[in-house]
Chain A
Amino acid sequence: MSKLGNLGARLYRGEVGYDFVGKRKIWYAVSILITITAILGLAVRGLNMGIEFEGGAVFNTPKTSVSVAQAEESAEKASGHDAIVQKLGDDAMRIQIAGVDIDKSDRIKAALAKDLDVKAADINADLVGPSWGEQIANKAWQGLAIFMVLVVIYLAIAFEWRMALAALIALIHDITITVGVYALVGFEVTPGTVIGLLTILGYSLYDTVVVFDSLKEQSKDLTKQTRFTYSEVANRSINGTLVRSINTTVVALLPVAGLLFIGGGVLGAGMLNDISLSLFVGLAAGAYSSIFIATPLVADFKEREPQLKALKKRVLAKRASAAARGNVVEDGDFRGEDEPRGSVPDEDATPAVVGPRAQPASRSRGKGRPSGKRR
C-alpha cells in the first residue's frame, strides 16, 4: 500500500505516468469497437422491454396456497418472460407477464393452473396496458433533452465549449455502451433499468467534470511558455487526478458490485439485477471515458487552435534545438528530479493569479516534520 502512496506522489510530480493522450488513438479505437458492438447488439437483438413499458397479459387466479416466489417461477417458466406476481387481499394472485398475446395466454393459463393447483377456467386472462405509459416516457425524453442542452451551456460557460462537447461525446458513449450491454445480455428493461441509466448520466458527467476542472487549472497561461504542449499538460492533469479517479471508481463500484454479484447472484434474476447491471456497466464506462475519451478529445480539439498549434511547433523546435545543443532532453514523459515539470515554466514568472505565489513552504516551519529521507 505504501507503494500506492508513493505512486500517488510520483504521479503527482509527473515522474511516472501513462501517456493517455499520446496513445489516445488506441483507446478511441477500443471505444469505437465497443460502441459498434453495442449498436449492432441493439440492432440485431433489440431491447427486451418489460411489462411496465409494453403492457402484456394479466392472469387473475382464484385463491391459491402457492407462494409468490413459486408462482413467479412457474409463470416465468411457462412464458419465458419476467413476471410480476402479487398476492391480493383474498389470497388470489395477480400475475402480469410481458410480451404475451392472447394466443399464448391459453397455454400459459393451463401451465399456471397446473402449478397453482387451480382450475384453468377460473383463471381469467386479460391484457394490461403499460404502467410506464407514453406520457412518462415522452416527458422523460423531454427532460433529458433539456438537461443535455443546459449542461452543455453550463460546461461551455464554466469551462469552454470544447470541453462541453467532449463531455457530451463521453456521455453518449457511456449510455450507448450500457444500452448495448442490455441488448446483448438480453435482460428485460424495467423502470429500474431506466433509473440506473439516469444515474449514470449524472455520474458520467460528474466524473468528467472533476478531471476537466484540474485540466482547466493546469492549462492556464499555457501559451506563455514553451516547454509543454497542450496534450502533455492534459496528460499530466489526467495523471495528477488518477489516484482520485481510481479511488472514486473503486468506492462507487464496490457497493454496486455487491448488489450485482452478491444480491443478484444469490437471488437470480430480478429487479436488483436490472438496476445493478446498468449501474455497474455505466459507472465503469463513465470512469473509463472521462480518462481515456473525454480528456484526449479535449486535447484533440484544442490542438486545432492556431495559437496552440503554434505553441506545439515552438515547443518541438525548442526541444530539437536543445537536443542539438546536447542539453538534457526533456520529453513529455520524463523529467529529471531537479527539473520538475509544471505548468508554470521559468519564463513565466508569476502566474496570472493573485494569491500565494508558488513558492516552497517556508522551511522554518514544519516543526515536527520528520526530515524526510530521500527515497
Chain B
Amino acid sequence: MAAPKKGRRQSAPGKPGRALVFILIALVALTGGMFLSGHTTPRLGIDLAGGTSITLEARNEPGQKNAINPTNMNTAVDIINNRVNGLGVSEAEVQTQGDRNIIVNIPKGTNEKQARDQVGTTAQLYFRPVITQAPGEPTPSDTPSSGTDKEKDKDKSTDKDKATDKATDKPTDKDAANSPSSSASPQGRAVSEALKADPTPSGKAKDGEDGKKKDETPAPDPATAKLQEQFTKLDCTDKKARAAAGKGVKPSEPTIACGKSPDGKTWDKFILAPAEVNGKDVDEAKATINQQTGAWVVNMEFTKGGSKKFAATTGKLSQQQPPQNQFAIVLDGEVVSAPSVNTTLNSNAEISGSFTQDSAKDLANVLSYGALPLTFHEQSVTTVSPALGGEQLEAGLIAGAIGLALVVIYLVVYYRGLSLIAIASLLVSAALTYTIMTLLGPTIHFALNLPAVCGAIVAIGITADSFIVFFERVRDEVREGRTLRPAVERAWPRARRTILVSDFVSFLAAAVLFVVTVGKVQGFAFTLGLTTLLDVVVVFFFTKPLMTLMARKKFFASGHPWSGFDPKRLGIKPPIRRSRRAPGSSVGPVDPKEA
C-alpha cells in the first residue's frame, strides 16, 4: 500500500537524465498528438461553450393510455442520460420539461447526428423467427423466396458462445464457427438477441394474429392472408413504407418488416412470427471485434430467464429448413440481422452485420441501457448559448492565474532557488493535464465544465504539496548536517512514501466515485483521478530527477544564499565536535528510514 520498499537508491541518482528524457518525450508526443488531431483546446461543457438542445416529446400511442406519467418520464430521462453520457464525462444534460417533454443538451463538438440517433431510439428489440423472406421490392408472385442464401464469407458470423457456456453441439455446417452458431443469414449477421422490451407494446394493433405460414401448421386464416398480401406489396426501398411496415403490431403477433441485405445496399423483406425473446432478456451488450472475421459485432449476454427462452427458441429453429431456421433481430421495427440457426444456443449471442466501430458501440449502448418506456419524437433541435457566458470562464482563468502567480511568488520567497524546480514541475504538470484533457475530447468525449476547471486549479495546489513534502524532507536532512546530495537521496524514500500514501487516498476517492456514480459526479471523479495520477508521474519522473541533478550543481550544493539551502536560513548547526552526539539530534521528526 505504501511505497514499495525498494532499495534506497532505487531511482539511481546516476540516471536522473533518463526519467527527464522520458517526461520530455511524453510531453512532445502529447503536444504533437494534440496538434495532429486538430484539437488544441479541451472540449468545453454546455455551461461554457453552449451546444445543441434537443427537445423530445413523448407520444401517446393508442392502447397505452396512461403511459405518459412522471415515473415513465423519469425512467426515460435516466436511460437517455446513460445513452448520451455513457462514460459520464461528456457533460450532456437531460431533464424533463412540463409533463411530456424531455430536453437533452449536448455540448458543442459532440457528433450531433450520432447523439440525436441515440436519443430518439426507442430500442425496442425483439427476436422473431422468420417465416418468409424476399428481396425488398414488391414481389410479383407470392413465392416467398427462401432468402437468397448468399453466404458471403463476410457474413459468416458466428455466434460465439463464450466459453462460459459453450454449447456442446458442433455446428453442423458451413459455418466456420467454432461454436454453435447461427450461420450467416442473408442478412449476414449473427444471431443475437435482443431487445429491451417495451413494457407497453406500441400499439395500434393492426392485423395481429398468430399467422404462421408455410409448413407451420395453423391453417392460413384470413389474417395470414392479409399479412401475405401486405408482404407482397411491401416496398422496402421506400422509406415511408419501411417505417410503416409492422407499425403498431404487438410483439405477440406476426408482422412484416424490412431489413438491409448483407451487402448493405439492397433491402430484404420478411414475414416474422411472434417475438420469442425480447430486450428485457438481455443482460448486457458490448461492442467487440469478432476474432475470426475481424469485423465489429455486438455481443449480448442474456439474463437467466432470457437464456432459457433463447435456448428453447434456437433449439426449435435449428430443426427448420431455410429460411425458417432464421431468427430476425428486430430493432424498432427494422430487421437488424436475421442469422440462421443450426444448433441450440444459450446465453450469448452476437449480432454481426456491416457495423463500424461507432455503430456497433451505439447499438451495444442502446441495448445495454434499455428501451425507453415511451415513444418520443423530436420536437425541435436548436443551438443553445453557454449558460454561464464566457466572462465566467475568463474570470476563472484570470483569477486562477493570479492565484498561481501568488503561489509562485510565495514559493520563490520561501524556497528561493528550489522554487525553480517547483515551478518547472508545476508547468510540466499543467502542460500534461492540458494536453491530455484536450486529447480526451475527441477520444472519449471528455468535456470540461466550470467546476472541472476550478478543480484543475485546486489540483495544482495539491500537486505542489508533493514538492513541498519532498523539499521539507530534504531540508530536514540538510539540517542534520548532511550535504545536499546524500540529503536528497535520503529524503526521497521517506517523501515518496508520504506522497504515495496520501495520493492513494485521493485516487481511491476518484476510482470509487468513477465506478459507482453517473453524470457530473463521474466527470469530476475522472478529473480528480487524472490529476492525481499526473501528480505521481510528475514527482517521480520530473521533480525527483531534477532535484538530483540540481544537487550536483555547486550553486545548490554549496548552500548559496539564493539556493534555498542557505545554512544560515535553514538554521543549521554544524555538529559540535563531540565524541557522541546526543542521540536524537539526528533524528528529527523522523526516524531514520528503513533503507
B95: interface (CB < 8 Å): yes
Q: Are B95 and A8 in contact, CB atoms less than 8 angstroms apart?
A: no
Q: Closest Cβ of chain A: how far from B523's Cβ, in Å?
A: 9
Instruction: Select from chain B the residue with minimum beta-carbon distance to A157.
Output: B1
Stretch at the interface among A177-185, A312-320, A337-345: A337-345
Q: Are A236 and B589 in contact, CB atoms less than 8 angstroms apart?
A: yes
Knowing A133-B95, A248-B465, A372-B573, say if A356 contacts B520 (CB, 8 Å): no
CB-CB contacts of B488-514 with A at 8 A, as 1s and 0s? 001000100110011111101110110
Contacts of A157 in B (CB 8 A): 1
Stretch at the interface among B186-194, B263-271, B473-481: B473-481
User: Which of A136, A195, A239, A353 counts the most chain B CB atoms within 10 A?
Assistant: A195
CB-CB contacts of A112-152 with B at 8 A, as 1s and 0s? 00000000000000111111111110011011101100110
Please measure, in the bound complex, the distance between the C-alpha atom of A256 and the C-alpha atom of B400, giving whole angstroms.
Answer: 7
Q: Are A272 and B395 in contact, CB atoms less than 8 angstroms apart?
A: yes
Contacts of A271 in B (CB 8 A): 47, 388, 392, 450-451
The residue that A147 contacts in the complex, of B382, B469, B508, B524, with Cβ under 8 A, is: B508
Stretch at the interface among A19-27, A257-265, A303-311: A257-265
Stretch at the interface among B349-357, B401-409, B437-445: B401-409
| B residues 500-557 touching A (CB-CB < 8 Å) | 501-506, 508-510, 512-513, 515-521, 524-525, 528, 554, 557
B464: interface (CB < 8 Å): yes
Instruction: Select from chain A the residue with minimum beta-carbon distance to B393.
Output: A272
The residue that B586 contacts in the complex, of A14, A240, A283, A358, with Cβ under 8 A, is: A358
The residue that A88 contacts in the complex, of B94, B383, B518, B593, with Cβ under 8 A, is: B383
Q: Closest Cβ of chain B: how far from A123's Cβ, in Å?
A: 14
Q: Are A205 and B505 in contact, CB atoms less than 8 angstroms apart?
A: yes
Count of chain A to chain B residue pairs whose CB atoms are closer than 8 Å in the complex: 409
Stretch at the interface among B123-131, B294-302, B319-327, B410-418: B410-418
Q: Are B505 and A255 in contact, CB atoms less than 8 angstroms apart?
A: no
A253: interface (CB < 8 Å): yes
Contacts of A367 in B (CB 8 A): 483
B96: interface (CB < 8 Å): yes
Instruction: Select from chain B the residue with minimum beta-carbon distance to A127.
Output: B98
The residue that B557 contacts in the complex, of A150, A244, A368, with Cβ under 8 A, is: A368
CB-CB contacts of A222-252 with B at 8 A, as 1s and 0s? 0000000000000011011101100110111
Please measure, in the bound complex, the distance between the C-alpha atom of A177 and the C-alpha atom of B506, giving whole angstroms.
Answer: 21
B24: interface (CB < 8 Å): no
Instruction: Select from chain A the residue with minimum beta-carbon distance to B592.
Output: A358
| B residues 383-401 touching A (CB-CB < 8 Å) | 383-389, 391-392, 395-396, 398-401
Please measure, in the bound complex, the distance between the C-alpha atom of A276 and the C-alpha atom of B399, giving whole angstroms.
Answer: 11
B81: interface (CB < 8 Å): yes
Contacts of B388 in A (CB 8 A): 270-271
Stretch at the interface among B174-182, B249-257, B455-463: B455-463
Contacts of B568 in A (CB 8 A): 2, 372-373
The residue that B480 contacts in the complex, of A214, A351, A361, with Cβ under 8 A, is: A361
Q: Are A84 and B559 in contact, CB atoms less than 8 angstroms apart?
A: no
Q: Are A129 and B559 in contact, CB atoms less than 8 angstroms apart?
A: no
B590: interface (CB < 8 Å): yes
| Interface SS of B by simple majority | helix
A49: interface (CB < 8 Å): no
How many A residues are at the interface, by size bracket?
35 or more
Instruction: Select from chain B the residue with minimum beta-carbon distance to A256.
Output: B458
Knowing A88-B383, A256-B403, A272-B395, say if A361 contacts B465 (CB, 8 Å): no
Q: Are A131 and B95 in contact, CB atoms less than 8 angstroms apart?
A: yes
Contacts of A279 in B (CB 8 A): 454, 458
B572: interface (CB < 8 Å): yes
Please measure, in the bound complex, the distance between the C-alpha atom of A260 and the C-alpha atom of B454, giving whole angstroms.
Answer: 11
Q: Are A94 and B384 in contact, CB atoms less than 8 angstroms apart?
A: yes
Please measure, in the bound complex, the distance between the C-alpha atom of A10 and the C-alpha atom of B398, giving whole angstroms.
Answer: 38
B38: interface (CB < 8 Å): no
Knowing A146-B516, A151-B505, A372-B568, say if A259 contacts B81 (CB, 8 Å): no
Q: List 23 A-B contacts (CB under 8 A).
A: A87-B384, A139-B518, A140-B521, A158-B1, A158-B2, A192-B454, A196-B451, A198-B509, A198-B525, A202-B505, A210-B469, A217-B589, A244-B469, A247-B414, A258-B404, A262-B399, A342-B588, A344-B587, A353-B592, A355-B594, A358-B583, A358-B592, A369-B559
10 tightest A-B CB contacts, nearest first: A342-B584, A240-B589, A9-B571, A255-B403, A258-B403, A252-B461, A129-B96, A263-B399, A5-B569, A143-B516
Give B residues with C-beta under 8 Å from A: 1-2, 8, 47, 50, 53, 73-74, 77-78, 81, 93-99, 101, 103, 105, 382-389, 391-392, 395-396, 398-404, 406-407, 410-411, 413-414, 450-452, 454-455, 457-458, 460-462, 464-465, 468-469, 472, 475-476, 479-483, 486, 490, 494, 497-498, 501-506, 508-510, 512-513, 515-521, 524-525, 528, 554, 557-559, 566-575, 577, 581-595
* 8 extra interface residue pairs, beta carbon distance < 8 Å, beyond A13-B479, A139-B517, A158-B2: A86-B50, A133-B78, A140-B513, A140-B521, A143-B525, A195-B520, A203-B462, A214-B498
Give A residues with C-beta under 8 Å from B: 1-2, 4-6, 8-10, 12-14, 55, 58, 68-69, 84-90, 94, 126-136, 139-140, 142-144, 146-147, 150-151, 154-155, 157-158, 191-192, 194-196, 198-199, 201-203, 205-207, 209-210, 213-214, 217-218, 220, 236-237, 239-241, 243-244, 247-248, 250-260, 262-263, 266-267, 270-272, 275-276, 279, 283, 338-346, 348, 351, 353-361, 363, 365-375
